[in-house]
Chains A and B, each alone.
Chain A
Amino acid sequence: MIWQQLQSIAGSYPLALRGLGMTVVLSLISLVLGTLLGFGLGILRTGGNRLISSAIGAWVDLIRGTPFLVQIFLIFFILPELGIELDAFTAGIIALTNLAACFICEIVVAGIRSVPTGQVEAALASGLSRWQRMRQVVLPQAMRIVLPPLVGQYVLLIKDSSVVSAIGLTDLTRVGWLVVQRVPNGLLVFFLVGLGYFIVCYPLIMLARRLEQRMGAAHGEVQI
């Protein structure tokens, strides 16, 4: 009986692949942009300028303290009211990138603050500029703290990308909603949707675990 149900769903596989592709592309672009932006925000937040630092802090708190669904609606439906026309894909990228950047910012800040002040003083005393101190001394040491939760955060963000189906993007979750209207067994459909996400996320979960084990290493640069 399960077999018959699987057959009835099987016809939808091109759609499912498209959905999976959309989920992967959307996640990949947002994670790359979000990581760059998140590191930038994290570095600025720990920099000397109090105004910039608290502005970033306030934004990060706002984003972390509101549901992603609300954020994506605001971006998709409110920005056009202000004269900024967005297609659903761009709106999804902006919303996900922003969400990723805010969470990653906090991870980077925690990593930077974990570096002992003596390290910064030593770099300062030898005349390294602010950027050289960050690039040569602080970030390489912060990365040991940052990497495991960073990869863990990627997993959460890939799953959060399912919310973009709410603004009509045909990602894996939306494909699930579409298919479920055509076949008798909805549970099975969403089991398969879940499996799709798991296949994408599981390698990252394994990577995060390996990185955490490596943290114990006594010395040397972190190599991915």
Chain B
Amino acid sequence: MTSLSSKNGAGMIEFRGVNKWFGQLNVLRDITLSVEPREVVVVCGPSGSGKSTLIRCINGLETIRDGDLTVDGQRLGDPATNMTRLRTEIGFVFQSFNLYPHKTALENVTLAPIHVRKIPRTEAEKAGRELLAKVGLADKVDAYPAQLSGGQQQRVAIARCLGMRPKIMLFDEPTSALDPEMISEVLDVMVAVAEEGMTMMVVTHEMGFARKVAQRVVFMDAGAIVESGTPDEFFSNPKTDRSRAFLSKILRH
């Protein structure tokens, strides 16, 4: 891979020929993908296709074996890249929420701003309350995660990411662990975040969300990007057998 000058490229996230193995298993195959600032990309595909691994590489929760991955102009794995600092620019929403159970909703939101951004506590708490109000949880500020429903926990988790004022938000199947009636409250918050111009990569099977806010849908299978296009193209005219088979399964209901 020649080192194309990443800083000149407009891509907020740039994969170039990225490969990753888990033992013998080639979980990411020759991934080349560029996500522009303010772009919303939905990643879908069958389970085990590598879509979670793909976005976990972006904030270094997984490391890549070869190829280039550049995020916000900084090359991952480069000794000059301060990974801890880069992570403060990238919000990550987990399938299982991963809120800190020993901290209240507000403390979950303010922890990183206070300790990483060094924002004074009173200021961080004010911003935290506003964020929790924004995700519809003004009355749950002092609740512990165990006292909240799944949908509420995931909204706190999104507020926790927004508290760092990130440039990029990554969502790893954010609604897969939720009861059906709670999915829309989380999707609504995600739509609002997207409409504010956040750069987002969202691993999800919520095709309604994809149609509404995504500029692009990326379909993965067996570790490779099989197809990529606008939601309209992808849903109405999937180009490959594998994407057609996948869509027929998830859109059947």
| A141→B94 CA distance, assembly (Å) | 19
**Cross-chain contact B164 with A127 (CB below 8 angstroms):** yes
Q: Give CA–CA (A58, B98) in the complex, Å.
A: 34
Q: In the complex the two chains form, is B144's CB within 8 Å of A126's CB?
A: no
**B146 pairs with A218, CB closer than 8 A:** yes
- The contact of A137 among B100, B147, B161, B164, by CB within 8 Å, is B100
A170 to B147 alpha-carbon distance, docked (Å): 55
Do the beta carbons of B102 and A220 come within 8 Å of each other? Answer: yes
Q: Is the C-beta of A221 less than 8 angstroms from some C-beta in chain B?
A: yes
B145 close to A (CB within 8 Å): yes
Q: Does B167 contact A (CB under 8 A)?
A: no
Is B111 engaged at the interface, CB distance under 8 Å to the other chain?
A: yes
The residue that B94 contacts in the complex, of A121, A140, A218, A221, with Cβ under 8 A, is A121
Q: Which residues of B contact A123 (CB under 8 A)?
A: 100
Task: Say whether chain A's binding surface is mostly helix, strand, loop, or mixed.
Answer: helix
Asked whether B100 lies within 8 Å of A126 as measured between CB atoms, the reply is no
Contact bitstring B82-109, A, C-beta under 8 A = 1, else 0:
0011011011101010111110000000
Chain B residues whose CB sits within 8 angstroms of the CB of A218 once the complex forms:
144, 146
Q: In whole angstroms, what is the CA distance A127 to B82 when docked? A: 10
Instruction: Please indicate the chain A residues that have their CB under 8 angstroms from the CB of B164 in the complex.
Output: 126-127
- Interface positions of A from 198 to 224, Cβ below 8 Å from B: 218-221
The one of A121, A125, A126 in contact with B111, judged by C-beta atoms closer than 8 angstroms, is: A126
- Cα-based distance from A119 to B101 in the complex (angstroms): 9
| Chain B residue contacts of A127, Cβ below 8 A | 84-85, 87-88, 112, 116, 164
**Interface residue total, chain B, C-beta cutoff 8 A:** 28
B243 interface residue per 8 A CB criterion: no
B93-139 contacts to A, CB under 8 A, are 94, 96, 98-102, 111-112, 115-116
Inter-subunit contact A132/B61 (CB<8 Å): no
- Establish whether residues A219 and B100, one from each chain, have CB atoms under 8 Å apart when the complex forms: no
The answer on a CB contact under 8 Å between B102 and A125 is no
A129 within 8 Å of B (CB atoms): yes
Q: Which of A116, A118, A126, A221 touches B102 (beta carbons < 8 Å)?
A: A221
Given A125-B90, A126-B160: A219 and B144 within 8 A (CB)?
yes
Complex Cα spacing A220 to B103, Å: 7
Verify B116–A128 contact, CB threshold 8 A. Answer: yes
Q: Which residue of B lies closest to A121 (CB)?
A: B61
CB distance from B163 to the nearest CB of A (A): 9
Which chain B positions have C-beta within 8 A of A136?
100, 111, 115
9 closest residue pairs by CB, A with B: A127-B88, A219-B144, A122-B98, A126-B112, A125-B92, A118-B98, A219-B146, A127-B87, A127-B116
A interface list, Cβ under 8 A from B: 116, 118-119, 121-129, 132, 136-137, 140-141, 218-221
Residues of B within 8 A of A (CB): 59-61, 84-85, 87-88, 90-92, 94, 96, 98-102, 111-112, 115-116, 144-147, 160-161, 164
Q: List 13 A-B contacts (CB under 8 A).
A: A118-B94, A121-B92, A121-B94, A124-B60, A126-B87, A126-B88, A127-B116, A127-B164, A132-B116, A136-B111, A141-B100, A219-B144, A221-B102
